[in-house]
Amino acid sequence: MLILLFAGVQSLDVTGPLEVFAGAGSAYRVMTASTDGEVVRTSSGLTLTPDTDLSAVPPLDTVVVPGGEGTRDIDPLIVEWLRAHASRARRVVSVCSGAFLLAEAGLLAGRRATSHWRVCGTLARRYPDVQVDPEPIFVRDGPIATSAGVTAGIDLALALVEEDLGRDVALAIARHLVMFLRRPANQTQLSAQLSAQVASRPGLREVQRWIADNPHADLRVPALARRASLSPRQFARAFTAEVGETPGRYVDGVRLETARRLLEESDDSIDRIAARCGYGTSEAMRRAFIRVLGIPPAEYRRRF
Protein backbone atom coordinates (compact mmCIF):
# COMPACT_ATOMS: atom_id res chain seq x y z
CA MET A 1 0.00 0.00 0.00
CA LEU A 2 1.26 3.46 -0.94
CA ILE A 3 0.40 6.87 0.51
CA LEU A 4 1.51 9.71 -1.75
CA LEU A 5 3.32 12.70 -0.23
CA PHE A 6 3.76 16.16 -1.73
CA ALA A 7 4.45 19.70 -0.58
CA GLY A 8 1.42 21.23 1.10
CA VAL A 9 -0.25 17.90 1.87
CA GLN A 10 -2.72 17.86 4.78
CA SER A 11 -0.92 15.94 7.53
CA LEU A 12 -4.08 14.31 8.92
CA ASP A 13 -5.04 13.08 5.45
CA VAL A 14 -1.80 11.09 5.62
CA THR A 15 -1.58 10.07 9.26
CA GLY A 16 -5.29 9.32 9.78
CA PRO A 17 -5.51 6.46 7.26
CA LEU A 18 -1.94 5.43 8.10
CA GLU A 19 -2.83 4.89 11.77
CA VAL A 20 -5.85 2.82 10.75
CA PHE A 21 -3.83 0.53 8.49
CA ALA A 22 -1.01 0.31 11.03
CA GLY A 23 -3.59 -0.82 13.59
CA ALA A 24 -4.11 -3.96 11.54
CA GLY A 25 -0.57 -5.09 12.32
CA SER A 26 1.19 -7.11 9.65
CA ALA A 27 -1.88 -7.30 7.42
CA TYR A 28 -0.69 -4.22 5.53
CA ARG A 29 2.73 -3.05 4.43
CA VAL A 30 2.34 0.71 4.14
CA MET A 31 4.91 2.89 2.45
CA THR A 32 5.07 6.58 1.64
CA ALA A 33 6.63 8.18 -1.41
CA SER A 34 7.14 11.62 -2.89
CA THR A 35 8.16 12.41 -6.44
CA ASP A 36 11.86 12.71 -5.55
CA GLY A 37 12.05 10.94 -2.19
CA GLU A 38 12.84 14.18 -0.38
CA VAL A 39 11.25 15.52 2.82
CA VAL A 40 7.95 17.35 2.27
CA ARG A 41 6.44 20.10 4.37
CA THR A 42 2.73 19.72 5.11
CA SER A 43 0.20 22.56 5.06
CA SER A 44 0.55 22.89 8.84
CA GLY A 45 4.35 23.12 8.69
CA LEU A 46 5.02 19.56 9.86
CA THR A 47 7.72 17.80 7.82
CA LEU A 48 7.32 14.21 6.63
CA THR A 49 10.10 11.95 5.40
CA PRO A 50 8.94 9.54 2.67
CA ASP A 51 10.17 5.97 2.48
CA THR A 52 11.13 6.30 -1.16
CA ASP A 53 10.51 8.15 -4.41
CA LEU A 54 7.80 7.26 -6.91
CA SER A 55 10.23 5.73 -9.40
CA ALA A 56 11.16 3.05 -6.85
CA VAL A 57 7.62 2.04 -5.85
CA PRO A 58 6.90 -1.68 -6.43
CA PRO A 59 3.58 -3.06 -7.74
CA LEU A 60 0.80 -2.00 -5.38
CA ASP A 61 -2.50 -3.26 -4.01
CA THR A 62 -3.80 0.13 -2.84
CA VAL A 63 -2.86 3.74 -3.60
CA VAL A 64 -3.95 6.48 -1.19
CA VAL A 65 -3.88 10.06 -2.47
CA PRO A 66 -4.30 12.63 0.34
CA GLY A 67 -5.42 16.22 -0.10
CA GLY A 68 -4.31 19.58 1.18
CA GLU A 69 -3.29 23.00 -0.05
CA GLY A 70 -0.70 21.35 -2.30
CA THR A 71 -3.46 20.18 -4.63
CA ARG A 72 -4.17 23.76 -5.68
CA ASP A 73 -1.09 23.67 -7.90
CA ILE A 74 -1.21 20.15 -9.26
CA ASP A 75 2.19 18.51 -9.67
CA PRO A 76 2.30 17.11 -13.22
CA LEU A 77 4.78 14.43 -12.12
CA ILE A 78 2.21 12.99 -9.68
CA VAL A 79 -0.51 13.10 -12.33
CA GLU A 80 1.78 11.37 -14.82
CA TRP A 81 2.62 8.67 -12.28
CA LEU A 82 -1.06 8.11 -11.45
CA ARG A 83 -1.94 7.77 -15.12
CA ALA A 84 0.80 5.20 -15.63
CA HIS A 85 0.48 3.16 -12.44
CA ALA A 86 -2.89 3.61 -10.70
CA SER A 87 -4.74 1.28 -13.05
CA ARG A 88 -2.44 -1.55 -11.97
CA ALA A 89 -3.51 -1.26 -8.33
CA ARG A 90 -6.55 -3.14 -7.00
CA ARG A 91 -7.99 0.12 -5.69
CA VAL A 92 -7.21 3.82 -5.59
CA VAL A 93 -8.36 6.04 -2.73
CA SER A 94 -8.38 9.80 -2.29
CA VAL A 95 -8.90 11.87 0.85
CA CYS A 96 -10.36 15.37 0.68
CA SER A 97 -8.98 17.42 -2.24
CA GLY A 98 -6.83 14.48 -3.34
CA ALA A 99 -9.82 13.89 -5.65
CA PHE A 100 -8.46 16.72 -7.82
CA LEU A 101 -5.32 14.68 -8.52
CA LEU A 102 -7.39 11.64 -9.47
CA ALA A 103 -9.64 13.76 -11.69
CA GLU A 104 -6.67 15.42 -13.39
CA ALA A 105 -5.26 11.95 -14.12
CA GLY A 106 -8.57 10.95 -15.72
CA LEU A 107 -9.32 8.32 -13.08
CA LEU A 108 -12.69 9.82 -12.11
CA ALA A 109 -14.08 10.31 -15.62
CA GLY A 110 -17.64 8.99 -15.71
CA ARG A 111 -17.50 8.03 -12.05
CA ARG A 112 -19.32 9.24 -8.96
CA ALA A 113 -17.02 10.96 -6.47
CA THR A 114 -16.93 13.29 -3.49
CA SER A 115 -14.50 15.60 -1.74
CA HIS A 116 -14.57 18.17 1.06
CA TRP A 117 -17.87 20.04 0.86
CA ARG A 118 -16.06 23.36 0.38
CA VAL A 119 -14.41 22.26 -2.87
CA CYS A 120 -17.07 19.99 -4.42
CA GLY A 121 -18.43 22.86 -6.52
CA THR A 122 -14.98 23.62 -7.90
CA LEU A 123 -14.35 19.94 -8.60
CA ALA A 124 -17.61 19.66 -10.53
CA ARG A 125 -16.94 22.79 -12.59
CA ARG A 126 -13.35 21.92 -13.39
CA TYR A 127 -14.09 18.30 -14.27
CA PRO A 128 -17.61 18.12 -15.76
CA ASP A 129 -17.15 14.44 -16.63
CA VAL A 130 -17.09 13.60 -12.90
CA GLN A 131 -20.40 12.99 -11.08
CA VAL A 132 -19.64 14.99 -7.92
CA ASP A 133 -21.82 14.28 -4.88
CA PRO A 134 -21.12 16.73 -2.02
CA GLU A 135 -23.25 14.90 0.56
CA PRO A 136 -21.65 11.56 1.61
CA ILE A 137 -18.47 11.25 3.63
CA PHE A 138 -17.10 8.76 1.11
CA VAL A 139 -18.08 7.21 -2.21
CA ARG A 140 -17.08 3.88 -3.75
CA ASP A 141 -17.30 3.54 -7.53
CA GLY A 142 -15.64 0.39 -8.76
CA PRO A 143 -11.95 0.34 -7.81
CA ILE A 144 -11.97 4.07 -7.00
CA ALA A 145 -12.95 5.51 -3.62
CA THR A 146 -13.08 9.19 -2.74
CA SER A 147 -13.74 10.77 0.64
CA ALA A 148 -14.48 14.10 2.27
CA GLY A 149 -12.11 16.01 4.53
CA VAL A 150 -9.70 14.69 7.17
CA THR A 151 -11.73 12.42 9.48
CA ALA A 152 -13.70 11.02 6.54
CA GLY A 153 -10.41 9.52 5.36
CA ILE A 154 -10.31 7.56 8.62
CA ASP A 155 -13.87 6.34 8.06
CA LEU A 156 -12.97 5.21 4.56
CA ALA A 157 -9.79 3.50 5.77
CA LEU A 158 -11.84 1.61 8.37
CA ALA A 159 -14.29 0.56 5.66
CA LEU A 160 -11.39 -0.82 3.61
CA VAL A 161 -10.07 -2.72 6.63
CA GLU A 162 -13.54 -4.18 7.19
CA GLU A 163 -13.67 -5.20 3.54
CA ASP A 164 -10.26 -6.88 3.75
CA LEU A 165 -10.14 -8.29 7.28
CA GLY A 166 -13.69 -8.28 8.63
CA ARG A 167 -15.88 -6.18 10.89
CA ASP A 168 -14.28 -7.29 14.18
CA VAL A 169 -10.83 -6.07 13.14
CA ALA A 170 -12.21 -2.73 11.95
CA LEU A 171 -14.15 -2.25 15.20
CA ALA A 172 -11.08 -3.11 17.29
CA ILE A 173 -9.07 -0.46 15.45
CA ALA A 174 -11.86 2.10 15.85
CA ARG A 175 -11.96 1.42 19.60
CA HIS A 176 -8.18 1.72 19.84
CA LEU A 177 -8.37 5.11 18.13
CA VAL A 178 -11.19 6.09 20.55
CA MET A 179 -13.54 6.86 17.71
CA PHE A 180 -17.03 7.69 18.90
CA LEU A 181 -18.72 6.31 15.80
CA ARG A 182 -17.64 4.49 12.70
CA ARG A 183 -19.76 6.34 10.17
CA PRO A 184 -21.31 4.66 7.10
CA ALA A 185 -20.50 5.97 3.64
CA ASN A 186 -23.77 7.80 3.11
CA GLN A 187 -23.52 9.75 6.37
CA THR A 188 -23.79 13.40 5.39
CA GLN A 189 -20.62 15.50 5.69
CA LEU A 190 -22.36 18.07 7.88
CA SER A 191 -24.60 17.18 10.80
CA ALA A 192 -27.83 19.07 11.40
CA GLN A 193 -26.05 21.17 14.02
CA LEU A 194 -23.03 21.85 11.80
CA SER A 195 -25.12 22.59 8.72
CA ALA A 196 -27.00 25.27 10.63
CA GLN A 197 -25.43 28.32 12.19
CA VAL A 198 -24.89 28.68 15.90
CA ALA A 199 -27.12 31.42 17.26
CA SER A 200 -25.35 34.50 18.58
CA ARG A 201 -27.55 35.16 21.62
CA PRO A 202 -27.08 32.78 24.58
CA GLY A 203 -30.78 32.03 24.99
CA LEU A 204 -31.08 30.69 21.46
CA ARG A 205 -27.85 28.71 21.75
CA GLU A 206 -29.29 27.07 24.86
CA VAL A 207 -32.41 26.17 22.89
CA GLN A 208 -30.26 24.56 20.21
CA ARG A 209 -28.51 22.47 22.86
CA TRP A 210 -31.86 21.55 24.41
CA ILE A 211 -33.22 20.35 21.07
CA ALA A 212 -30.17 18.12 20.49
CA ASP A 213 -30.39 16.62 24.00
CA ASN A 214 -34.18 16.21 24.05
CA PRO A 215 -35.50 15.28 20.58
CA HIS A 216 -38.40 13.45 22.26
CA ALA A 217 -39.67 16.59 24.02
CA ASP A 218 -42.28 19.09 22.92
CA LEU A 219 -40.26 21.06 20.38
CA ARG A 220 -43.02 23.15 18.92
CA VAL A 221 -42.41 26.88 18.67
CA PRO A 222 -44.48 27.90 21.74
CA ALA A 223 -42.56 25.49 23.99
CA LEU A 224 -39.18 26.53 22.62
CA ALA A 225 -40.13 30.20 22.85
CA ARG A 226 -40.90 29.82 26.56
CA ARG A 227 -37.47 28.28 27.10
CA ALA A 228 -35.90 31.28 25.34
CA SER A 229 -38.12 33.75 27.28
CA LEU A 230 -39.53 35.15 24.04
CA SER A 231 -42.94 35.30 22.47
CA PRO A 232 -43.52 32.65 19.78
CA ARG A 233 -43.39 35.27 17.04
CA GLN A 234 -40.18 36.84 18.41
CA PHE A 235 -38.60 33.42 18.84
CA ALA A 236 -39.43 32.18 15.36
CA ARG A 237 -38.13 35.39 13.78
CA ALA A 238 -34.92 35.50 15.85
CA PHE A 239 -34.17 31.78 15.49
CA THR A 240 -34.57 31.86 11.72
CA ALA A 241 -32.41 34.97 11.41
CA GLU A 242 -29.57 33.67 13.59
CA VAL A 243 -29.61 29.95 12.77
CA GLY A 244 -30.39 30.26 9.09
CA GLU A 245 -33.46 28.01 9.05
CA THR A 246 -36.84 27.85 10.73
CA PRO A 247 -37.22 26.13 14.12
CA GLY A 248 -39.33 23.40 12.54
CA ARG A 249 -36.77 22.61 9.88
CA TYR A 250 -33.99 22.57 12.46
CA VAL A 251 -35.93 20.21 14.71
CA ASP A 252 -36.68 17.90 11.77
CA GLY A 253 -32.96 17.69 10.96
CA VAL A 254 -31.94 16.92 14.53
CA ARG A 255 -34.62 14.25 14.94
CA LEU A 256 -33.70 12.54 11.68
CA GLU A 257 -30.00 12.60 12.52
CA THR A 258 -30.65 11.17 15.98
CA ALA A 259 -32.84 8.42 14.54
CA ARG A 260 -30.17 7.47 12.00
CA ARG A 261 -27.56 7.22 14.73
CA LEU A 262 -29.80 5.04 16.91
CA LEU A 263 -30.60 2.75 13.98
CA GLU A 264 -26.88 2.32 13.34
CA GLU A 265 -25.73 1.94 16.94
CA SER A 266 -28.54 0.47 19.02
CA ASP A 267 -30.73 -2.63 19.03
CA ASP A 268 -33.83 -0.62 19.97
CA SER A 269 -36.96 -1.39 18.00
CA ILE A 270 -38.08 1.08 15.36
CA ASP A 271 -41.11 1.94 17.51
CA ARG A 272 -38.81 2.69 20.45
CA ILE A 273 -36.50 4.84 18.32
CA ALA A 274 -39.47 6.75 16.90
CA ALA A 275 -40.58 7.54 20.45
CA ARG A 276 -37.08 8.52 21.60
CA CYS A 277 -36.72 10.90 18.67
CA GLY A 278 -40.06 12.60 19.08
CA TYR A 279 -41.81 11.18 16.03
CA GLY A 280 -44.66 9.79 18.07
CA THR A 281 -45.26 6.82 15.77
CA SER A 282 -43.06 4.63 13.61
CA GLU A 283 -45.17 5.61 10.61
CA ALA A 284 -44.31 9.30 11.14
CA MET A 285 -40.62 8.40 11.28
CA ARG A 286 -40.99 6.24 8.20
CA ARG A 287 -42.47 9.14 6.23
CA ALA A 288 -39.61 11.41 7.33
CA PHE A 289 -37.00 8.88 6.23
CA ILE A 290 -38.58 8.31 2.85
CA ARG A 291 -38.99 12.04 2.27
CA VAL A 292 -35.34 12.87 3.03
CA LEU A 293 -33.38 9.66 2.42
CA GLY A 294 -35.59 7.79 0.01
CA ILE A 295 -35.67 4.59 2.10
CA PRO A 296 -37.65 3.51 5.21
CA PRO A 297 -35.95 3.07 8.62
CA ALA A 298 -35.89 -0.73 8.43
CA GLU A 299 -34.02 -0.64 5.12
CA TYR A 300 -31.65 2.03 6.47
CA ARG A 301 -30.79 -0.22 9.43
CA ARG A 302 -30.29 -3.24 7.16
CA ARG A 303 -27.82 -1.34 4.99
CA PHE A 304 -25.91 0.56 7.64
- So which residues are the catalytic ones? 96
Per-residue exposure over 165-185, b if at least 16 CB sit within 10 Å of its own CB, e if not: beeebbeebbeeeebeebbbb
Q: What are the CA-CA distances from residue 240 to residues 85, 88, 243, 253, 276 (Å)?
A: 51, 52, 5, 14, 25
For residue 136, the 8-state DSSP code is B
Burial of 9 (0-12, 13-18, 19+ CB in 10 A): buried
Q: What are the CA-CA distances from residue 222 to residues 36, 89, 199 (Å)?
A: 64, 59, 18
- Cα dihedral value 102, 116, 137, 57, nearest 10: 30
Burial of 47 (0-12, 13-18, 19+ CB in 10 A): exposed
With the C-alpha atoms ordered 138, 43, 77, 19, is the resulting torsion angle positive or negative?
Answer: negative
Q: What are the CA-CA distances from residue 40 to residues 8, 64, 83, 171, 182 (Å)?
A: 8, 16, 22, 32, 30
Give the Cα separation of 104 and 115 in Å (integer).
14
Nearest alpha carbon to residue 124 among 62, 150, 186, 135? 135
